[in-house]
């Protein structure tokens, strides 16, 4: 690893197939950062076990995820792609950081509260806590069976980032709060023990930073949404893409305009904009006098055309799992080198006796 190049680190969870939200909000931008930077792109399987999962699916998704990264333009020669559990140090650093993290900060995290709601619903407890804004003031475990890994999730994420002394972390807008916590933890550690960590900058794209659900445009598009029509997956076939976009929830107005009070329409324009690199204003201009049918149909054609080469590359890559495993092995070796270096420094500053 070159010492003077900026370090870019980011990760995605292998909780299912990647979505166009992951692609537009994150991976598409990672591919633009390969030149001039040292890049670490993690597949965070340890984060993925904070929600319900099956081990066989996780294993499958992890390999499929690296194939999707490469298919999206992340060249293995230019980036270190690794599986989180292959690198010793993530969980260790998370433990040290947890000891300087106030519990209240974790309970206030939006993603934690959202996931508690989801788990409450699956446990048939939805009506108990729905609409309860003061959930951070309660012990959620008193009503819902929440694993503490879900609460600790942002600390592990901070460890993922700080372990590599990342300068910048490209993420979608949903991760802004987690990034803020990571920055706070870096500063807190530096103050307490002397300068150790770089304070990383979030990098949030201008377009595509928050792709919303096709069925409920007030919620973020998520790969773990139980309603599969709400989410466009990178590997959806053309027929399915068309069907999902044509049945996207919009409103009863007819014209195409930019309006915050029309979230379904705004989401479609946003997706159009991110895939075509045109501004939302110029898209609205080109659909003047046309309606939803035209916009949806053109958008479906655009998404199908943009995803076609990604899908072709993906299916070819999946024919060669040995190659994918070799990419991950090399990535983990590079990541491990950096992780050990950082962990040694942190342990020393924390007062742990040197291991000879
Ligand atoms: P899950 O749905 O299982 O909670 P996720 O897709 O939200 O997962 P990750 O796979 O970890 O979470 O996300 C990887 C990257 O994709 C992150 O940088 C995240 O900010 C970005 N991302 C995820 N969903 C969206 C979205 N709907 N719009 C824009 N960016 C997104
Ligand atoms: N929390 C992120 C995934 C994630 C991540 C990271 C992103 C885990 N560790 C480190 C950037 C850097 C999510 O849910 N999207």
- Which residue of 11, 12, 157 sits with most ligand 1 atoms within 8 Å of its CB, as the best mutation to test the pocket? 12
* 312 and 325, same domain (yes or no): no
Is residue 336 a part of any domain in this protein? yes
Q: Indicate which atom in ligand 2 lies nearest the CA of residue 47.
A: 8
- Ligand 2 centroid, distance to 236 Cα (angstroms): 24
Give domain status of residue 216, yes or no: no
Query: Token pair for residue 50?
Result: 């904070």
Residues 281 and 166 in one domain: no
CB neighbour burial string for 143-152, b if at least 16 within 10 angstroms, e if fewer: bbebeeebbb
Judge whether 12 lies within some domain: yes
SS3 50: coil
Please check whether residues 57 and 165 belong to one and the same domain.
Answer: yes
- Asked whether residue 326 falls in the same domain as residue 307, the answer is no
- Contacting residues for 231 by C-beta, under 8 A, at least 6 apart: 19, 21, 213, 214, 221, 222, 223, 225, 244
- Report the pocket of ligand 2 as residue ranges, CB < 6 Å: 10-11, 13, 44, 47, 157, 160-161, 169, 171, 175, 178
Q: Which residues line ligand 1 (CB under 6 A)?
A: 12-13, 15, 19, 21-22, 25-26, 171-172, 174-175, 209-211, 220-224
* Domain match, 205 and 123 both: yes
**pLDDT (tens place) for every residue of the chain, 356 residues total:** 556 899 999 999 999 899 999 999 889 889 889 999 999 999 999 999 998 899 999 999 999 999 999 999 999 999 999 999 999 999 999 999 999 999 999 999 999 998 888 777 777 765 444 444 444 445 555 566 788 999 999 999 999 999 999 999 999 888 999 999 999 999 999 999 999 999 999 998 776 679 999 999 999 999 888 899 999 999 999 999 999 999 999 998 888 998 989 999 999 999 999 999 999 999 999 999 999 999 999 999 999 999 999 999 999 999 999 999 999 999 999 999 999 999 999 999 999 998 87
Ligand 2 site-directed mutation target among 157, 159, 182, 339, most atoms within 8 Å of CB:
157
SS3 82: strand
Torsion sign over Cα 301, 302, 308, 310: negative
**Domains identified in the chain, total number:** 2
Backbone angles phi, psi at 148, to 5 degrees: -70, -15
Range of the domain at 261: 228-316
Half-sphere exposure of 276 (CA within 13 A, CB side): 18
In a domain, 159, yes or no: yes
Separation between Cα atoms, residue 23 and residue 275, nearest integer Å: 10
């Amino acid at each position: 690893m070159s010492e003077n190049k900026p370090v870019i680190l980011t990760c995605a969870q292998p909780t299912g197939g990647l979505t166009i939200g992951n692609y537009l909000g994150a991976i598409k931008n990672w591919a633009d950062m390969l030149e001039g930077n040292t890049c670490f792109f993690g597949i965070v399987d340890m984060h993925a076990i904070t929600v319900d999962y099956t081990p066989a699916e996780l294993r499958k998704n992890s390999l499929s995820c690296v194939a999707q990264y490469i298919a999206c333009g992340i060249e293995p020669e230019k980036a270190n792609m690794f599986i989180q559990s292959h690198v010793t140090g993530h969980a260790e650093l998370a433990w040290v950081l947890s000891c300087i993290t106030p519990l209240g900060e974790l309970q206030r995290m939006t993603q934690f509260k959202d996931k508690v709601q989801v788990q409450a619903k699956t446990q048939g407890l939805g009506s108990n806590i729905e609409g309860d804004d003061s959930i951070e003031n309660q012990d959620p475990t008193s009503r819902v069976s929440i694993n503490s890994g879900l609460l600790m999730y942002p600390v592990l994420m901070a460890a993922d980032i700080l372990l590599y002394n990342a300068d910048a972390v490209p993420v979608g807008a949903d991760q802004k709060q987690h990034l803020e916590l990571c920055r706070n933890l870096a500063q807190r550690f530096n103050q307490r023990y002397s300068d150790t960590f770089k304070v990383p900058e979030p990098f949030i794209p201008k377009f595509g930073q928050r792709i919303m659900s096709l069925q409920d445009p007030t919620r973020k598009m998520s790969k773990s949404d139980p309603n599969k029509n709400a989410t466009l997956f990178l590997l959806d076939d053309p027929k399915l893409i068309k069907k999902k976009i044509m049945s996207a929830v919009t409103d009863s107005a007819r014209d195409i305009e930019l309006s915050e009070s029309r979230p379904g329409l705004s989401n479609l324009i946003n997706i159009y904009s991110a895939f075509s690199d045109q501004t939302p204003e110029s898209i609205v201009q080109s659909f003047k006098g046309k309606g939803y049918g035209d916009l949806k149909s053109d958008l479906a054609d655009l998404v199908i055309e943009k995803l076609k080469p990604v899908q072709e590359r993906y299916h070819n890559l999946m024919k060669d799992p040995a190659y994918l495993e070799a990419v991950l092995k090399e990535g983990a070796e590079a990541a491990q080198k950096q992780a050990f270096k950082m962990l040694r420094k942190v342990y020393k500053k924390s007062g742990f006796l040197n291991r000879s």
